[in-house]
Structure 1
């Protein structure tokens, strides 16, 4: 049986200001996206120039933070928002959702694409390989903060989390998500985009792979206590939100290749 290392979630304490590891993971993720984006700008099919990258990252960061917060409020805790609307603004109390962050990025990227007059689909394909590193780091932040742990298990991977009132051995699902949504997803998208692919295909592959990985991990991740299971007695909110990603990603991927074939590319 494993025991969580009980890492202090506060990385740096500066008087009354506490900088948490989870927040730093966001910062590291944006920095990694900027570094990798610089390399991607050198590709002849890149839709943007290197001097446009910082603005793209800024727009994307706003989309992640604002969309992630609003997504958590709307998808996971709408009743609390109705009873206390100002809770939406109290981000220091925690609560971010990937699916909301994804929608926020889609909107932000569309706005930036319009500003610089490039195809929004080309820009989405460009950022697809930049996102997984940040996703993986975010899951490490969840692990350090002992958030979003897994369901009870008697397997060799069972871990005791000190903050868990029940003190049951649980799947360290945050690490599973780090491995799948961070490392594996990055490798798939990174190597796939090393050469030019049909328009829409990289973004579609990202949607499909993330949706599949998230759907799988949800089987061992503890459902939100105030929600439980949403459908069929076993399907979680995360799985319901991931299903459209899987279907949409697969459909767009097939369409991208068929369109490219029809155009003789």
Structure 2
């Protein structure tokens, strides 16, 4: 007999009139709130100007949301969204890509560094990424509540049976469950929490923010290398990935991992000089 977890979580936490408060949005908001508090303590530790912090929060939110949405639309379904550009705005229907969010943040921090701090982008990233692993983990837990982005069938005892007809089930239909599958949302969330812990340790215990690019490089390796390997267990998000040796998520992860390695090596070489 194959043991498994029958996952029947409702993606909606509660209703406020016609408004739905969903677990995904709540996890996203909690992650950003805690992340803000962590960066606020870092700002106090280094005695940095408080207006920089408020502007960093705005730039990061905009870069994350806009980048993640455009990343999903252009990386995974460009034909559909370019033919129906208004659909890009319907972010409440789902569809955010972490790689797009990363690119969006990079662009946002470019402008933030030029207009606000007048410091290097790496200076900002070494501080910004410290809580970002926590935010990423919270988002993956939101994916778990949405019964989405899970993996292949498995006979391991922690396989989850997810509801495949969420929309119909919410309207009263009987649930249709997947085969016991890898809960890859949890796998990624755990890896992201480990990356978060390492970045916190580097910043608070090792003062690694003084070695420009080191924390940022470690973060990039931790997040995107784990993503690369976990993708082998995931179901493809789009049909065109079926005949690919590496799926889109893996192809997009490779340059981020390589960049992370380069930043770590660069920081250590500068330290040893």
TM-score higher than 0.5: yes
1:20 aligns with 2:22: yes
1:189 aligned to 2:199? yes
Distance 1:201 1:230, change over 3 A: farther
TM alignment of 1:84-233, pairs within 5 A? 84-116=84-116, 117-163=118-164, 165=176, 167-181=178-192, 183-194=193-204, 195-197=206-208, 198-229=211-242, 231-232=244-245
Kept in 1, the 8 Å contact 2:123–2:213? The answer is yes
Residues 129-170 of structure 1 show CA distances to partners (whole Å, capped at 9, x for unaligned) of 120111000001000010101111111221111226563110
TM-score (norm 1): 0.91
Secondary structure of the corresponding residue to residue 162 of structure 1:
coil
CA separation of 1:99 and 1:155: change in aligned 2, threshold 3 A: same
Task: Please state whether the residue corresponding to 1:219 is helix, strand or coil.
Answer: helix
2:268 is the counterpart of 1:261: no
Q: What secondary structure sits across from 1:43 in the alignment? A: helix
Deviation for aligned residue 1:188: 1.1
Q: Runs of at least 4 residues of structure 1 off by over 3 A?
A: none
Q: Distance in 2 between matches of 1:55 and 1:35?
A: 14
The answer as to whether partners of 2:161 and 2:177 remain within 8 angstroms in 1 is: no
Segments of 5+ residues of structure 1 without an aligned counterpart are none
CA contact (8 A) 2:76 2:238 kept: no
Q: Once the 2 structures are TM-superposed, how far is the Cα of residue 218 of structure 1 from its aligned partner?
A: 0.8
Q: Which structure 2 segments of 5+ residues have no match?
A: 166-175
- TM score, norm. by length of structure 2: 0.89
TM-superposed CA distance for 1:251, in Å, is 1.3
RMSD: 1.6
- Asked whether 1:56 is paired with 2:56, we answer yes
More moved, 171-180 vs 74-83:
74-83
Larger mean CA deviation between 198-207 and 154-163 belongs to 154-163
Q: How many equivalent pairs are there?
A: 257
Matching of residue 242 in structure 1 with residue 253 in structure 2: yes
**CA shift at 1:229, angstroms?**
3.9
